[in-house]
Amino acid sequence: MAREALRRVVTQIPGVTIAWMANDGAEALERAKADRPDLVLMDLIMPVMDGVESTRMIMRHAPCPIVVVTATVEGNASRVYEAIGAGALDAVDTPRLGSTGTQGDKALLGKIAAVRKMTSSEFRAAAAAPSVAKVPTAVAPTVVSTPTKVPAPQVPDPFDPFLLVAVGASTGGPQALATFLKSLPPTLPYAVVIVQHMDATFLPGLAQWLTSQTGRPVVLARQGDRPVPGSILVAGEAQQMIMKASGTLEYVAGDPDLIHRPSVDVFFESLANVRSRTGAAVLLTGMGKDGAAGMMALKNSGWRTFAQDRATSVVWGMPGAASQSGAAERTLAIDHIGPAVTAALSKPRPGVTP
């Protein structure tokens, strides 16, 4: 029934055809390797290989856009965020066959329309040589030097109460965010504010999932919130999030032509304009280049800047753009970024450069 419902939804879209259908995750992997599609609609509960592992393996061997389609996103929340952490772009409830036709198909049609805005060539270029977002213990951090010396921010003793760690992530972000947050000190001497590319309907669940995975309270940022040391906030609206000169977070409509709402670039650039704030900017796994320009603005304002390396990224698009442009001072494996950020923002010790 679920397969027939999906077939009916897809075949009603002009210019879209079904390339193949698979009975389980392992078959989906082999078919994707043999005939890479423009989009995979992936169930979660399947025999042989489930949807999470199939997503992870497809992103490794035949990267292409994947949208999770499951009987109930809310009921499978943990597995949904695992799949998104493995590289799925989004998730939606499976349409249902009813007496009057297919029901609940508008959400899926909207997801497909959003993915079609990305060309296959753009996705495959961004996903070149991807790997599973898992860090081998033997991997040492890779440091990318930049041609110009960046002035270290003036950090009072021992931490500036206005220090902020700003994080941007997209494809594969949930798992990378969980790893990053778990690597931070138990008592955070700075605030963490996250922009994750995700449908706004799933952001409350993301905050709850990160809380369950890390043991840290992660909450959605509200209009007028002021980040304080120890707080972890996630942009939670389908609007642009910015920081005002007053130090509060605000949601604004922003440029209607921007694909991402919220956009990492918009948030980072707003931070660069708040002179009373300083800190570190981090770009984690994600498709495209959102955040690279904003990170450069922060670097030029004296912020410390970090990008996730290719080996531990699901898609080395956003962090790759920051690394290759010189916006990121350091390009590190995901489990090295948290300690490096804390060291960079701590009080410099004699003879030690953060």
The first and second tokens of residue 276, run together, are 């009373």
Tell how far CA 187 is from the center of its chain.
24
Q: Which letter does DSSP use for residue 310 in this model?
A: S
Going 79 to 186 to 181 to 210, the CA torsion angle's sign is: positive
In angstroms, the CA 170 to CA 196 distance is 6
pLDDT at 184: 97
DSSP helix, strand, coil percent of the chain (3-state; round to 5): 35, 15, 50
In angstroms, the CA 32 to CA 23 distance is 13
Per-residue pLDDT band for 120 (boundaries 50, 70, 90) equals low
Q: Top-level CATH class of 163-345?
A: alpha beta
pLDDT at 104: 67
Residues of each domain in the chain carrying CATH 3.40.50.2300: 2-117
List, in sequence order, every residue forming a beta bridge with 242; answer none if it has no partner: 250
In angstroms, the CA 22 to CA 1 distance is 14
Residues of each domain in the chain carrying CATH 3.40.50.180: 163-345
Nearest to 285 by CA among 177, 194, 207: 177
Most confident of 82-96, 196-210, 315-329: 315-329
Active site residues: 170, 197, 290
What's the predicted TM-score (pTM) here?
A: 0.79
**pLDDT at residue 352 greater than cutoff 70:** no
CATH no. for 2-117: 3.40.50.2300
List, in sequence order, every residue forming a beta bridge with 306; answer none if it has no partner: 282, 330
